[in-house]
Structure 1
Amino acid sequence: MSNPSAETILHNGVIRTMDAANPVAQALAIAGGKIIGVGSRAEIEPLRGERTAVIDLGGRMLMPGLIDFHVHLLPSMIARLHTTAIDTADDFDTILGKVADACTRGDGRDWVVANSYGALALQRMREPGALAALDAVSGNRPVVMQHLSGHGHFANSAALRLAGIDAATPNPPDGEIVRDAAGQPTGLLVESGAWAVTAAIPELSAAGKAEAARASIGYLNSLGITGFADASASLEALEFYRALDDAGALTCWAAFHLALSPTCSGYSADEARLMREQRRELCGPHMNADFAKIFLDGVPSLRTAAMLAPYASAPDEPPVATSLTLDELTEAIADFDRDGIGVKVHAVGDRAIRMVLDAVEQVRRRNGPGGPQHQIAHGQFITADDIPRLAQLNVLHDMCPPLWHPNSASLTHERMVGPERYATVWPVRDILAAGAAVVAASDWRTIAPDLDPWEAMCGLVTRRDPTGRHDGAHAPDQALSVAEVLPLYTTNPAAAMRLGDRTGRLAPGLSADMIMLDRDLMTIDPLAIAQTEVLATWFEGRLVHGSA
C-alpha cells in the first residue's frame, strides 16, 4: 500500500514541534487538515504527490500555534472596537481630556465607556472633587471608566443616576459604592458595586456583537494564536462562537469556562442551568464547555485580594471577605466535580489560594481523587508551603496577566503589599519544579488594550520589562528558559482544554495548527522575543493569517 499524498509540505526551516519524541524537524506534511508526517526532508519526500503544494520556509521557525488559556474574548473585542482607549499610565487630567473629546463626538451611542485607568488616576479619583471634574467635561452624557483589573470602575453623576445609585443605595454583597464624608457616592465603584452601572450601559446590537466575535478570531490568528479559553463565558458568547464554528470561521480551538456561579458578573440562574445542562449540545466541533468559573476574591491594586497578612499600604484595614466561605466553595466545586466539570477559581491573594486548595482537598476526599483537573486563576501570591499541593491535588496554575516583570500594574501591586511580600510573587520556576501543571495566559483585556503574547513570553524569560519603560528585573531567579516557556503556551494549555490529543504539538495525527515566525526563538537574544512577528498562521492546515 502506497503512502498517502500530502496536500502541503513545508520544508527548509527549523520546525520546533513541542513533541518530546521528535523535538526538531526539517519538514512537515499535511493532508485533510492533519499532520501526516514530521521529519527530515528525505523522510517526508515520499509523501509528495503530483498536486502537493510545497512551501519553502526559508530557514524560518515553524512551531505550534499559541493557545491563550485565559481571555475575556468577546467583551474585550467589543471594548477594542467600541470604547475610548485610556492608558494605564495616564493621569486624571489626561483622562479627562480624552473623555471630553469622546463626549463631543457624535458616535451614535449615548454612553462613553473608557478603559483602562491605572494607579495614578485612581489616586486622584479617591480625592474630593474628582466626580465634579468628570461631570464638568461630560455634562449630561453618562460616562463610566474601568480600572485595568476589571474589578473597579469610576462613573459620572449621569451614569450613577441611570443606574439608580444615590446616597440611599446600599452596598451590594462583595462590592462597595465609595462615598464621601456626607454619604454621597464619589463615583468610585468597587467589585460588584459597579454591576448596576455596567448593566445600564446599552447593549451593542446582535449584529455588532457577531462582527466583534468574528473580528476577535482574526485578531487572535494575527498574533499566532490558534486556541483560546474564555475565562467567564455567557450563553450569548457560546452562541456567537457556535455560529462562527457552524460557518467554518472559528479558526481557533475554543474552551469556555461558563458563568455558572452567582459570583460571576452577569450571572443568571436560568441561563446557568441551561448552559450546564446543554453545554455539549451548545458547542460546535472546535468548542468545549466542560468548565465553570468562580470568583473568590479581587485584586491587590484595589486591596480586594484576600491576603493572609494585612496590606502594607493599609495595615489597619480588616481582612478582605471572600465571596464564598470555605464550606460554600467546597460544596460548589464538589457539585461541578461530580459532573465532570473543571472549575477555574479566581484567587489572587495567598489566603484565597489556600482556600481553593483546602476546598479541592476536601472534594478529592469526598468524590475520589480521579475527578477533573481544577484551576487557580492568577494565583501570584501563592505561598511556598502551598506550591507542592498543586500537583498533589491536580490543580492547574493558570498564570496571568503578565505581571511577572516590572510594569505600571505590578509596581502598583508592590506598593499595596510592600516590596518584601511582592518579591515572592510569580514563583513560576518553583511551581514547575514541584511538578505542577502550569499555563501562561493574557487575561486580555485587563492590563493593556492590545494582546501581545510575545511581549509576555519575553517577560517570563527575562523577568524584565520588554518595553524598556521600567528598570530592573522581578525575581530573576524565577526566570525560565525559552524551552521551558513554550509548553506554557502550547502543549500545557492544549492538555488543560482536554485537547491534547488534537493540538498543541506538531506530530502525526494532530491538527495542523502552526505558525511561521520571523526569528528562531531558541537562538536569539531573549529580549528580542518581544519583537517577534508572526508571518503566517495555519489552522487545520488552512492559511488563516499572513502568507507563506
Structure 2
Amino acid sequence: MTDPKVHEARGHADLILRGGTVLTMDDDARRAEGVAITAGRIVAVGDSAELELWCGPTTRVIELSGRAVLPGINDSHLHGSWLGARWPHTFFGAADPEAAAQVSGTLVSSTAERRAAIQRAGKLLTELGITSYTEPGLGPGEDSGETGSFHSEVIEIYRELAAAGELSQRITVLALHGILDGPSDVATVVAGIQNHAALAGESDPAWLAIPGVKIFGDLIPLSRQAWTHHSYDDGTHGDLLVEGATIAEKAEGLAQMLRAAHLAGLQVGIHATGDRTVELALEAFAAAAALPGAPSVRELGHVIIHGDLATPAQVARMAEMGIWLNTQSGIAAYAGEWLTGMLGPEVATSAWPLGAALAAGVLVLSSDAPVLDFDWRRGIAAAEARIVATGGSVAPEDMRARLEQLLRAYTSLPAAQDRAADWKGTVTAGKVADLVVLARDPFEVGAAGLPDVAVDLTVLDGHVVFER
C-alpha cells in the first residue's frame, strides 16, 4: 500500500502502468497489477484502486492489457564498448560465423569511435529491456590492447556521458590494471589497486560506479588454460595468467593481487574457470578477511567470473562467504561437446554448475556479449536447459519456482552484486523506476518459451526509452 504521507508529498504520478502483472522479483515473489512512477522513482505498486489515487491531469497512463512488468534487466558481465564495435559478430552463435571470424585487429582508436560504440550498444540493449550492465575490465592495462575497446579512455567517455545525462543504461565498471587474457605483472596490478581512487574519480554512482577491479586468474578450459586438478587430453593441467617462472610462483602472485584488492576495500571480479583457480581465490579472500581490521568478504561481494569447473563444495563455500558466481549459460550449450573431448564426459557433465549455484543463492546470469549475444531471454532458456540436462527436476511446480530464481538472476541478484540492491533491482516503492514490459507473463510460457516473448517497453529512470 501507498504511504499517505508519500502521496501527499509527491502529488500525482508522472507515469502509471496498469492492468497487467507486475513481477516484483523481491524475496517474497510478490505480484501486483500495476506501478506508479514519479520523478524517476517508483511510488506505488499495487492494484487498480490504489493506482487510481496517483492519476492526475498530466499523468501518462499505459494500459498493460495483461502484459508483464519486470525490473529492468541488469546484464552484469557485458562488454558494452566492445559489443558496439563488433555487433553483430559474436564469438559463439554468430549469424554469419565466417564474417565474425574475420573481425580482428583494432576496432576503435579515437574518442569519437569509442563514444559511438558505447552509444550503439546502448540502443541495442535498450530494445531488449536492459537498463544496467557491468563493464568487467577497462583501464590502463589495456591502453595498448589490440581492439582499443578496453582502453582507459572508455571510462572517461562513460563519465562524460553520465555527467551529461546521455547514458542509455546504468554502468558499473571493474578497472583493469593487468593484461586482458594475458599474464599480468603483480607489481603493476598492485600499484593500480593502490591508485584505484584516482582512476575511479567522481561520478554519480547511480549512473557510473567503479567499485573494484577485474583480475585474470586463468583462461578457459577450451584452450586447455583453465588451471584444474583434472588432466586434459594432452596430460596438462592448465596455467595461471600471472608472470612467474613456476606455477607456485604464479599462484602466490595471484593470491597477492587478490589480497591487496581486498585489503584496499575493493570488490574483485576474478576471471576463474578452473577449479584450482577458484580454490586459490576462495583461500586468498578468506586469508585477507581474517587479518585485523579487514572488511569481511560479504561486505565487498567478490565475484567469481565464469567458474566453469567450480565444484559443488566450492559453490557452497561461496554462499557461506558471500561471493557471487557470475556465469553465462549459453557457453555450456555451445562448448559442452568440445569440453567432453578435452576433459572427458564426467568433467563435462559436472561443469557449469548452474543448478548448485541457483540452489545456493549465488548464481548471477550474464551474457559476456559479444562473446555471446545479449538476449537475456535466451540466457534464461539455456540455463533451464542446462539444469534439466544435468538432473534438475521437471515437475511443473519446480520448474515454475526455478523460473522465478532465473529471472532474479538477471534482475535483483545482479543489483546485489553491484552493491545497489537498496535502490534498484526490484519493483518496489522507493527504488528507481527501471522496468521492462513483456508481451506475455513469462510464467505462462516457461523458461523454454521465454525467447519468443517480445519486449514491448523499456523504462529507464521513469522515462519510456523504447516502445515496440
Kindly report which structure 2 residues correspond to 1:103-502, keeping only aligned pairs within 5 A, or say none. 115-116=100-101, 198=105, 201=106, 203-234=108-139, 235-262=152-179, 272=192, 276-285=196-205, 286-311=207-232, 313-314=233-234, 316=235, 318-324=236-242, 325-366=250-291, 367=294, 369=296, 371-400=299-328, 402-404=330-332, 406-407=333-334, 409-434=335-360, 436-446=361-371, 448=372, 450-463=373-386, 474-477=389-392, 481-502=402-423
TM-score norm. by structure 2 comes to 0.84
Q: Give yes or no for contact 2:172–2:208 (8 Å, CA) kept in 1.
A: yes
CA distance in 1 between counterparts of 2:54 and 2:128 reads 30
Q: Find the counterpart in structure 2 of residue 194 from structure 1.
A: none
Shift in Å at residue 403 of structure 1?
2.6
CA distance in 2 between counterparts of 1:525 and 1:373 reads 31
Shift in Å at residue 356 of structure 1?
1.2
Q: Secondary structure at the match of 1:215?
A: helix
Aligned CA distance change for structure 1 residues 457 and 442 (closer, same or farther; 3 Å): same
Aligned CA distance change for structure 1 residues 87 and 323 (closer, same or farther; 3 Å): closer
Say whether residues 1:72 and 2:45 are aligned partners.
Answer: no
CA distance in 1 between counterparts of 2:240 and 2:440 reads 45
Shift in Å at residue 207 of structure 1?
1.2
Structure with more helix by fraction: 2
Q: Secondary structure at the match of 1:47?
A: coil
Deviations 1:246-271 (A, max 9, x none): 22121312111110235666989599
User: In the alignment, residue 32 of structure 2 is paired with which amino acid?
Assistant: A
CA distance in 2 between counterparts of 1:86 and 1:489 reads 22
% of aligned pairs identical? 25
Deviations 1:294-340 (A, max 9, x none): 111111111111110211x32x3x33221243322222122111222
Runs of 5+ unmatched residues, structure 2 = 140-151, 243-249
Which of 53, 72, 88 is residue 60 of structure 2 equivalent to? 53
Q: Give yes or no for contact 1:232–1:258 (8 Å, CA) kept in 2.
A: yes
Q: Give yes or no for contact 1:327–1:359 (8 Å, CA) kept in 2.
A: no
Q: Secondary structure at the match of 1:288?
A: strand
Deviations 1:222-257 (A, max 9, x none): 111011011111221211112221221213121111
CA distance in 2 between counterparts of 1:85 and 1:347 reads 22
Where relative contact order (Cα < 8 A, 6+ residues apart) is larger, the structure is 2
Shift in Å at residue 21 of structure 1?
5.1
User: In the alignment, residue 318 of structure 2 is paired with which amino acid?
Assistant: L
Query: Alignment length, in residue pairs?
Result: 429
Say whether residues 1:522 and 2:459 are aligned partners.
Answer: no
User: In the alignment, residue 7 of structure 1 is paired with which amino acid?
Assistant: D
User: In the alignment, residue 296 of structure 2 is paired with which amino acid?
Assistant: P
CA distance in 2 between counterparts of 1:421 and 1:243 reads 46
Runs of 5+ unmatched residues, structure 1 = 99-114, 117-143, 147-197, 465-472
Q: Find the counterpart in structure 1 of residue 434 from structure 2.
A: 513
CA distance in 1 between counterparts of 2:355 and 2:159 reads 37
Shift in Å at residue 529 of structure 1?
0.8
Q: Give yes or no for contact 2:261–2:268 (8 Å, CA) kept in 1.
A: yes
Larger of the two Rg values belongs to structure: 1
CA distance in 1 between counterparts of 2:272 and 2:393 reads 21
User: In the alignment, residue 347 of structure 2 is paired with which amino acid?
Assistant: R
Q: Give yes or no for contact 1:292–1:344 (8 Å, CA) kept in 2.
A: yes
CA distance in 2 between counterparts of 1:90 and 1:355 reads 38
Q: Secondary structure at the match of 1:226?
A: strand
Aligned CA distance change for structure 1 residues 246 and 334 (closer, same or farther; 3 Å): same
Q: Secondary structure at the match of 2:383?
A: helix
Q: Give yes or no for contact 1:379–1:398 (8 Å, CA) kept in 2.
A: yes
Q: Give yes or no for contact 2:73–2:410 (8 Å, CA) kept in 1.
A: yes
Which of 69, 80, 83 is residue 62 of structure 1 equivalent to? 69
What CA RMSD, in Å, does the superposition of the two structures yield over aligned residues? 2.8
Q: Give yes or no for contact 1:364–1:393 (8 Å, CA) kept in 2.
A: no
Shift in Å at residue 443 of structure 1?
0.9
Aligned CA distance change for structure 1 residues 66 and 86 (closer, same or farther; 3 Å): closer
Q: Find the counterpart in structure 2 of residue 110 from structure 1.
A: none
Q: Give yes or no for contact 1:297–1:348 (8 Å, CA) kept in 2.
A: yes
User: In the alignment, residue 477 of structure 1 is paired with which amino acid?
Assistant: G
User: In the alignment, residue 378 of structure 2 is paired with which amino acid?
Assistant: E
Q: Give yes or no for contact 2:86–2:103 (8 Å, CA) kept in 1.
A: no
Q: Give yes or no for contact 2:255–2:280 (8 Å, CA) kept in 1.
A: no
Q: Secondary structure at the match of 1:524?
A: helix
CA distance in 2 between counterparts of 1:89 and 1:64 reads 28
User: In the alignment, residue 460 of structure 1 is paired with which amino acid?
Assistant: A
Q: Give yes or no for contact 1:226–1:251 (8 Å, CA) kept in 2.
A: yes
TM-score norm. by structure 1 comes to 0.72
